[in-house]
C-alpha cells in the first residue's frame, strides 16, 4: 500500500525529531567531556597572507607561464596536496586573478611576492570557515607547491564592525540572559549550560551567527546568574583539521575553580559587592603622573609569611583587610610617608597555580649555601601555590588562588581594593596582554581554540612567535586590541583600578595603547596613569610591523616607560660580578652622566655638560652603543627604578659586586643610595616591595617559579632572607655550576646578611626619602619645560668628581623652597663639592633630614659659603627657605 503524503510527512518529522534528540544527547555528552590533551600534530606551513577580504599574497612565489594559483577549500578539512598530483579532498577551488593592489602598510613586513584577487561571486566568509590551501598548480592541475593562508587580514576587513560590539560575554538581566562570542571561522557554536560549578550539562543551546560581525549569540529567558557555561565550537584548525572544541569564554567575568567553566555573573549585583563598595572613597593624592610613588607587590608575598594574619587569609586578597597585621601597618606607614600606589603583580586569572590543592614543599633546615632548599622547592614548583603569574588564561576575572574560595574571587578582590584605598593607597595592576599561557589545541588555550590563527602573532611560516617567552598575542589585530582595551576598561570600571603597568608594552602598537588610554580615562572619569616595559626587541623591533609602544616611540603620548638608563648605570649593566655600576664601585664620568640623565627625567631636549666637556642634549648622548640616553618628551613618560621583581634584588646584586669586606651598615647605605636616586629623579618613582628592608632572594636572579621560600618578606624586620640556600639551579647555577661556586662563597659568609639593626635603619631612611619627595614638589616637576628651566647639575662637565652627583632645582616663583640641592655620594669616604656661585647663599639641611634616622648625615653634612660636605655613602638634601 502506498504511503499517503500526510503520513510520509509525519514519519519524516518523527525521524528528524529522533535524530535531533540523538544529536542533543551527543552534544550534551560533549558538553560534559573533559578538555582533552591534543594529539601531536605538525603545524603545516602558512606562508601566504590574506591582505584584506578579497586579496592574498604569497611571498617568495615565482610563477612561470602557464602556471596558476587557486584557493582550494574543504569543509571537513580533508585537503591533501602532494607535489606532482592533483589536489585531493577538496569541496571546490576558487579561481584567483592577478592583483595590482598596493601592499597595505600593516603588511609591510612580509616578503615580496605576487598578489591575487578573489574572483567576484566567491563567498569569502564561507571560505574562512573551511580548510584553505593556496596551491601553485601546473597547467594540468598538478601540484607544484601549496601553503596555508594566514587569516587575520581577511577577518579584520570582513568583520570590522565587530570592533563596535559592546556585549561580548554573558550579560544577565531580570528578563533574559544574553551570550555573545566572536568566532567568525566557526562552522557551529553551541552554548553548554550547567546548573552549577560541578553539575552536568543541562542544555546545549544553538547559537546564531551574525554575518555582519562574526559574533555568535544566544538569548535565554530569565536571569541565569550562577549558572556555569562553556562554548562547544566546531572549527577548522591548522594543526588538527576540523575539531569540536569545548572552551571557556574569553570575556568571562567569573570562573569555577581552576578555570574549568565560565560563570554567568552580573558584577553590579549586590551579592558581589562588599558592604559600602558603591560609596567607598578613593585616594586623590595623585594630581599628575609625576606624583606617583609606586610599590610593586605580589599578593602572596605580602602575607604568606605574616603570622599576624589569620592563617586562612595568608597569601590571599583578604590579608589586605587585616588592618592590624604587620604587613598592613608597613603599607600604612609607607602611605603616610608618601607612597601613593601599590602595583600588584598579575592578579587576573592565571594558568600556573592550582586554585585548589596546590602543594607546599617541606624545606629542610640546611646551611646557608646548601642546594637542599632549592631542590625541595623545585620538586613541586609547578604544583605549588606560587608563581609570579605572567601566564594569562582569562583576562577579565580575578585569579582564584588568591581567594579563600575561587567562587569568592570577585568580592574578595574588591575587599582588597577597598582596604588599600582606606589605607590611602591607590591600586595598580600589572597588565599582561602581550602573550598567553597556551596556544593551539592545548587545554589552557582559549583564544586560539575559538578563532584558530587569529589572536596570535605568526611568523613567515605560520608558527606562533614566542619572543616574549610565551605565545605572543597580536594586538595589531582588531579583535585582540579590542579584547585588551575592553579588559582594561573593565578593571577600571568594576574593580576601581587606579593605574596600570603593562608587561612588554613595546610588543603592542602605540595607537592601541592610546585608544586604551582614552577608554580607561572615560570609564574612570579621571586620568588613569599608564606605564610599562617599553623594550624594543623581537619580531616587532624597530617598528618592523607597526609603531610600537616602546621607549623611543612613545614620546608625546604621556604613557610612561621604564628607564634602563639610570638603572643600568646605578647597578651595573648585567649581573656579572665585574659589571660594576655607580653604586657599587664603577663610578666614572660616563656612568655619572647617565645618572644625571635619570635625575633629569631622561628628557630628550634637556642639555647636559658631559664628562668630555661637551654640552649635549640627552638624546645626543649614547646609551648602550646605539640608543639615545634621553628618550622622553615629558617627565610623565619615564619611570625611574633600580629594582623590581625581575633579576636579582639590588641587595643581592651588590652582594656580588661590592667588595666582600663591605660592612653590613655600608651595604644598607648603598641600598638607600639606590632608593635616593629614584626619589630624587624627575618622573615617576617606582620601588620593589622589600627594597626598603634590604630584600634578598638568596641571589635568585629569576624567582618567578621559586616558591614562597625564595620570595619571602619579613614585616617583623628581623631577616632579609639572605643565606637561605643556593638559588634554584635552572637559572642560577651557570655553565657547569660556575655561578653557584661564587654564590656559595657569598652565602656562607656570616658577615653579609643584615641584622634587625640594619633593616630598621634602612626602613626608616627609606620613609624619610619618601617624605622628602612628598614635601618637595621641585623633585617631581610636571613638565619638560619646567625641568629645563629649573634643573641643573653643579659639578658636572670635564674634571668632575664622578662619585658625587649634585642636582640643583630652582624654585623661584613657586610655593615652597626657593631652591633644592640634592647630593649623592657613592664613595666610601666623605666628598666635597665647591660651588663659588653659592658662596653667598644660605643652604640648610632639609627639615626631614634634620631630625632623621641617618645620624651620619645629621652630624657630618655641611653647606658653608658654597662648600658642600657630603659624608661617605650618603644622600643629602639642602634647601633654601
- Bridge-based pairing of strands 149-150 and 48-50 is parallel
503 is annotated as an active-site residue: yes
Nearest to 620 by CA among 612, 630, 610, 632: 630
CA distance 154 to 106: 13
Place of cell 638559588: 727
- Give just the sign of the alpha carbon dihedral 315, 650, 640, 732: negative
CA distance 52 to 60: 19
539 is annotated as an active-site residue: no
Query: Quick one: residue 462, left, alpha or beta (phi over 0 = left, psi -120 to 50 = alpha)?
Result: left
- Give just the sign of the alpha carbon dihedral 101, 102, 107, 108: positive
Question: Under 8 Å CB-to-CB from 262, ≥6 apart: which residues?
Answer: 170, 228, 229, 230, 248, 249, 252, 254, 255, 256
| Residues paired with 93 in a beta bridge | 72
Residue in 355, 399, 498, 533 annotated catalytic:
533
CA distance 435 to 540: 14
Residue in 412, 503, 564, 854 annotated catalytic:
503
> Angle CA(620)–CA(622)–CA(628) in degrees, nearest 5?
65
CA distance 836 to 118: 78
- Bridge-based pairing of strands 471-472 and 435-436 is antiparallel
> Half-sphere exposure (CA, 13 Å, Cβ side) for 505?
26
Question: Under 8 Å CB-to-CB from 507, ≥6 apart: which residues?
Answer: 434, 467, 468, 472, 475, 538, 540, 548
Q: What is 417-437 written as a DSSP string?
A: HHHHHHTT-EEEEEE--SEES
CA distance 408 to 420: 19
> Half-sphere exposure (CA, 13 Å, Cβ side) for 187?
17
User: What cell does 123 get?
Assistant: 563567498
- Give just the sign of the alpha carbon dihedral 384, 385, 388, 392: positive
| Residues forming the active site | 503, 533
Amino acid at each position: 500500500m502506498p504511503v499517503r503524503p500526510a503520513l510520509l510527512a509525519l514519519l519524516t518529522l518523527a525521524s528528524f525529531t529522533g535524530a535531533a534528540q540523538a544529536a542533543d544527547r551527543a552534544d550534551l555528552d560533549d558538553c560534559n567531556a573533559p578538555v582533552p590533551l591534543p594529539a601531536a600534530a605538525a603545524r603545516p606551513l602558512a606562508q601566504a597572507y590574506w591582505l584584506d577580504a578579497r586579496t592574498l599574497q604569497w611571498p617568495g612565489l615565482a610563477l612561470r607561464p602557464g602556471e596558476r594559483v587557486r584557493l582550494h577549500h574543504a569543509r571537513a578539512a580533508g585537503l591533501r596536496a602532494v607535489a606532482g598530483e592533483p589536489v585531493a579532498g577538496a569541496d571546490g577551488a576558487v579561481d584567483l586573478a592577478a592583483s595590482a593592489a598596493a601592499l597595505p602598510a600593516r603588511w609591510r613586513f612580509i616578503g615580496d611576492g605576487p598578489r591575487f584577487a578573489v574572483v567576484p561571486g566567491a563567498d569569502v566568509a564561507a571560505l574562512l570557515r573551511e580548510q584553505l590551501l593556496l596551491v601553485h598548480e601546473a597547467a594540468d592541475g598538478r601540484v607544484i607547491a601549496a601553503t596555508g593562508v594566514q587569516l587575520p587580514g581577511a577577518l579584520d576587513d570582513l568583520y570590522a564592525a565587530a570592533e563596535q560590539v559592546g556585549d561580548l560575554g554573558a550579560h544577565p538581566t531580570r528578563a533574559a540572559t544574553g551570550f555573545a562570542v566572536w568566532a567568525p571561522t566557526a562552522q557551529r557554536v553551541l552554548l553548554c549550560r550547567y546548573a552549577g560549578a560541578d553539575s552536568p550539562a543541562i542544555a546545549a543551546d544553538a547559537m546564531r551567527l551574525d554575518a555582519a560581525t562574526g559574533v555568535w549569540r544566544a538569548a535565554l529567558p530569565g536571569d541565569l546568574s550562577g549558572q556555569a557555561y562553556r562554548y562547544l565550537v566546531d572549527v577548522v584548525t591548522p594543526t588538527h583539521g576540523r575539531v569540536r572544541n569545548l572552551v571557556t569564554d574569553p570575556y568571562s567575568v567569573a570562573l569555577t575553580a581552576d578555570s574549568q567553566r565560565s560563570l554567568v555573573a552580573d558584577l553590579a549585583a549586590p551579592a558581589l559587592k562588599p558592604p559600602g563598595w558603591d560609596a567607598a572613597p578613593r585616594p586623590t593624592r595623585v594630581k599628575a603622573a609625576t606624583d606617583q610613588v609606586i610599590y610593586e607587590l605580589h599578593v602572596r608575598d605580602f602575607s604568606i609569611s605574616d603570622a599576624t594574619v589569620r592563617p586562612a587569609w595568608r597569601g590571599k586578597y583578604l590579608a589586605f583587610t587585616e588592618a592590624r597585621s604587620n604587613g598592613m601597618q608597613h603599607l600604612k606607614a609607607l602611605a603616610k610617608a608618601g607612597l601613593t600606589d601599590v602595583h600588584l603583580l598579575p592578579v587576573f586569572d592565571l594558568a600556573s597555580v592550582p586554585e585548589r590543592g596546590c602543594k607546599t614543599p617541606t624545606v629542610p633546615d640546611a646551611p646557608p649555601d646548601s642546594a637542599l632548599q632549592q631542590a625541595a622547592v623545585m620538586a613541586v614548583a609547578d604544583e605549588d601555590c606560587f608563581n609570579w603569574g605572567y601566564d594569562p588564561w582569562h583576562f577579565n576575572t580575578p585569579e582564584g588562588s588568591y581567594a579563600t574560595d575561587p567562587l569568592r574571587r570577585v568580592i574578595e578582590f574588591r575587599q582588597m581594593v577597598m582596604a588599600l584605598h582606606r589605607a590611602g593607597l591607590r591600586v595598580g595592576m600589572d597588565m599582561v596582554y602581550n602573550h598567553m599561557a597556551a596556544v593551539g589545541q592545548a587545554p589552557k588555550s582559549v583564544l586560539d581554540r575559538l578563532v584558530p590563527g587569529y589572536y596570535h602573532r605568526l611568523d613567515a611560516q605560520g608558527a606562533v612567535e614566542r619572543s616574549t617567552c610565551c605565545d605572543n598575542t597580536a594586538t595589531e589585530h582588531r579583535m585582540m586590541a579590542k579584547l585588551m582595551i575592553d579588559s582594561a576598561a573593565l578593571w577600571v570600571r568594576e574593580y576601581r583600578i587606579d593605574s596600570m603597568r603593562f608587561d612588554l608594552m613595546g610588543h603592542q602598537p602605540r595607537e592601541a595603547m592610546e585608544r586604551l588610554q582614552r577608554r580607561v580615562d572615560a570609564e574612570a572619569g579621571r586620568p588613569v596613569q599608564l606605564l610599562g616595559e617599553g623594550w624594543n626587541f623581537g619580531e616587532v623591533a624597530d617598528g618592523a610591523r607597526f609603531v610600537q609602544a616602546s621607549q623611543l616611540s612613545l614620546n608625546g603620548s604621556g604613557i610612561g616607560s621604564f628607564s634602563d638608563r639610570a638603572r643600568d648605570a646605578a647597578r651595573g649593566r648585567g649581573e656579572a660580578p665585574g659589571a660594576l655600576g655607580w653604586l657599587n664601585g664603577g663610578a666614572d664620568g660616563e656612568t655619572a652622566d647617565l645618572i644625571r640623565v635619570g635625575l633629569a627625567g631622561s628628557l630628550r631636549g634637556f642639555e647636559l655638560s658631559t664628562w668630555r666637556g661637551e654640552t649635549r642634549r640627552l638624546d645626543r648622548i649614547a646609551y648602550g652603543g646605539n640608543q639615545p640616553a634621553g628618550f622622553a618628551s615629558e617627565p610623565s613618560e619615564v619611570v625611574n627604578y633600580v629594582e623590581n621583581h625581575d633579576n636579582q634584588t639590588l641587595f643581592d646584586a651588590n652582594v656580588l659586586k661590592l667588595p666582600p669586606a663591605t660592612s653590613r651598615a655600608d651595604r644598607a647605605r648603598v641600598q638607600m643610595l639606590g632608593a635616593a636616586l629614584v626619589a630624587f629623579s624627575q618622573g615617576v618613582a617606582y620601588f620593589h616591595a622589600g627594597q626598603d628592608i634590604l630584600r634578598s632572594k638568596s641571589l635568585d636572579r629569576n624567582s618567578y617559579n621559586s616558591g614562597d621560600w625564595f620570595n619571602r618578606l619579613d614585616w617583623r624586620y628581623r631577616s632579609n632572607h639572605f643565606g637561605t640556600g643556593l638559588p634554584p639551579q635552572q637559572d642560577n647555577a651557570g655553565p657547569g655550576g660556575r655561578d653557584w661556586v661564587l654564590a656559595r662563597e657569598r652565602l656562607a659568609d656570616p658577615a653579609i646578611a643584615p641584622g634587625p639593626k640594619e633593616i630598621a635603619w634602612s626602613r626608616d631612611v627609606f620613609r624619610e626619602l619618601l617624605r622628602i619627595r612628598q614635601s618637595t614638589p621641585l623633585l617631581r616637576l610636571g613638565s619638560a619645560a619646567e625641568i629645563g628651566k629649573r634643573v641643573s647639575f653643579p659639578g658636572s662637565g670635564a674634571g668632575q668628581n664622578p662619585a658625587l652627583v649634585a642636582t640643583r632645582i630652582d624654585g623661584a616663583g613657586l610655593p615652597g623652597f626657593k631652591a633644592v640641592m640634592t647630593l649623592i655620594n657613592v664613595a666610601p669616604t666623605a666628598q666635597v663639592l665647591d660651588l663659588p656661585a653659592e658662596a653667598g647663599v644660605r643652604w640648610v639641611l632639609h627639615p626631614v633630614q634634620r631630625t632623621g634616622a641617618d645620624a651620619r648625615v645629621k652630624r657630618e653634612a655641611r653647606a658653608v659659603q658654597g662648600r658642600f660636605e657630603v659624608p661617605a655613602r650618603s644622600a643629602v638634601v639642602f634647601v633654601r627657605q
